Amino acid sequence: MPEARPLRVVLAEDGALMRDGLIAVLTRFGHEVVQAVADAPSLATAVETHEPDIVVTDVRMPPTLTDDGLRAAIALRERDPRLPVLVLSQYIEAASAGELLDSTDARAVGYLLKDRVIDVTDFADAVRQVAGGGTVIDPEVVRHLLTRRRDPLDRLTPREREVLALIAQGHSNTAIAQELTVSAAAVGKHINNILAKLDLPPDAEVHRRVLAVLTFLRS
Amino acid sequence: MEVMTVLRRRGFLVSAWPWRSLAYLVTSTISGALVLTVVAAVLLVGGTLASVLVGLPMLAALAFAGVPVAAFERWRLRLMDAEPVTDPHRAPDRPGVGGWLAVRVRESATWRELGFTILLATILWPLDLTIAAAGAAVPWALLTAWIPVLSGGRRGLWPGVAIHTPGQAIAALPAGIVLLAAGAYLVTVVAAGRAALTRRLLSPRPDEAALLLAEVTGSRARLVNAFEAERRRIERDLHDGAQQRLVAVATSLGLAMLDLPPGPAADHVAHAHREARKALVELRELIHGIHPQVLTQHGLGAAVQDAADRSPVPVALTWDITGRMPAAVEATGYFVVCEALANVARHSGADHAWITAAHTGDTLRLEIGDDGAGGADPSGGSGLTGLSDRLAVVGGTLALASPSGGPTLLRVEIPCPKPVPSVSSSPRTAP
Question: How many Cβ pairs within 8 Å bridge chains A and B?
Answer: 107
A61 contact B CB<8A = no
DSSP string spanning B37-63? HHHHHHHHHHHHHGGGSTHHHHHHHGG
**CA distance, residue A185 to nearest chain B CA (Å):** 32
Minimum CA–CA partner of B240 in chain A: A15
The span from the CA of A176 to the CA of A163, in Å, is: 7
* Closest among A94, A168, A166 to A135, alpha carbons compared: A168
Contacts of A25 in chain B (CB under 8 A): 251, 254-255
Average pLDDT over residues B269-292: 90
Report pLDDT for B264. 94
Contacts of B284 in chain A (CB under 8 A): 90-91, 113, 115
Q: What is the pLDDT of residues B173-195, one digit of tens each?
A: 888 889 888 888 899 999 989 88
**CA distance, residue B367 to nearest chain A CA (Å):** 19
pLDDT class of B429 with cuts at 50, 70, 90: very low
Report pLDDT for B3. 66
Q: What domains does chain A contain, in order, with CATH numbers?
A: 8-138 (3.40.50.2300), 148-218 (1.10.10.10)
A98 contact B CB<8A = yes
Q: Do A120 and B428 touch (CB under 8 A)?
A: no
Q: How distant, in Å, are the alpha carbons of A66, A157, B28, B417, B431 from that of A167?
A: 30, 15, 88, 43, 22
B211: number of Cβ within 10 Å: 15
Total length of chain B: 431
As a 3-state breakdown, chain A gives helix, strand, coil percent values, each rounded to 5, of: 55, 15, 30
pLDDT class of B333 with cuts at 50, 70, 90: very high
* Closest among B329, B350, B338 to B413, alpha carbons compared: B329
Minimum CA–CA partner of A21 in chain B: B248
The span from the CA of A57 to the CA of A70, in Å, is: 8
Longest Cα pair distance anywhere in chain B, in angstroms? Answer: 126
Q: Quote ipTM for the complex.
A: 0.75
The rounded percent of chain A whose pLDDT value lies above 90 is 36
Whether B125 shows a pLDDT value over 70: the answer reads yes
Which helix (H) or strand (E) covers residue A54, if one does? strand A54-58
**CA distance, residue B72 to nearest chain A CA (Å):** 55
Q: List the single residue in B239, B250, B297 with the smallest CB-CB distance to A118.
A: B250
Average pLDDT over residues A73-88: 91
DSSP assigned state of B324: B
Average pLDDT over residues B200-216: 78
Strands B408-415 and B363-370, by their bridges, are antiparallel
As a 3-state breakdown, chain B gives helix, strand, coil percent values, each rounded to 5, of: 65, 10, 25
Contacts of A11 in chain B (CB under 8 A): none
Architecture of domain B294-415: 2-Layer Sandwich (3.30)
Which of A65 and B69 is assigned the larger pLDDT?
A: B69
Contacts of B276 in chain A (CB under 8 A): 118
The rounded percent of chain B whose pLDDT value lies above 70 is 95
The answer to whether B343 touches B376, Cβ cutoff 8 Å, is: yes
* pTM assigned to the model: 0.58
Average pLDDT over residues B18-32: 91
A186 contact B CB<8A = no
Mutate to test the interface with A, among B240, B243, B251, B295 (most CBs of A within 10 A): B251
End-to-end CA distance of chain B: 68
CB < 8 Å from A in window 291-350 of B? 292-294, 296-298, 302, 305-306, 308-311, 314, 316
The answer to whether B297 touches B334, Cβ cutoff 8 Å, is: no
Report pLDDT for A1. 45
B253 contact A CB<8A = yes
Q: How distant, in Å, are the alpha carbons of A158, B201, B381, B409 from that of B402?
A: 34, 49, 15, 6
Mutate to test the interface with B, among A115, A154, A216, A217 (most CBs of B within 10 A): A115
Q: Which residues pair with B415 in a beta bridge?
A: B363
Report pLDDT for A127. 95
Q: Do A93 and B298 touch (CB under 8 A)?
A: yes
CA Rg, chain B, in Å?
A: 37
Q: List the single residue in A17, A99, A119 with the smallest CB-CB distance to B244.
A: A17
Q: List the single residue in B251, B302, B314 with the smallest CB-CB distance to A149.
A: B314
Could you give the count of Cα atoms lying within 13 Å of A43 in the half-sphere of its Cβ? 30
Ranges of each domain in chain B: 3-204, 225-290, 294-415
Across A30-39, B36-45, B228-237, least confident range: B228-237
Report pLDDT for A39. 93
Q: Which residues pair with B156 in a beta bridge?
A: B162
Report pLDDT for B34. 93
Q: Mean pLDDT across chain B, nearest whole number?
A: 85
* Closest among B27, B75, B76, B23 to B184, alpha carbons compared: B23
The answer to whether B335 touches B343, Cβ cutoff 8 Å, is: no
Task: Among A66-75, A169-178, B85-94, name the most confident range.
Answer: A66-75
Q: Do A60 and B424 touch (CB under 8 A)?
A: no
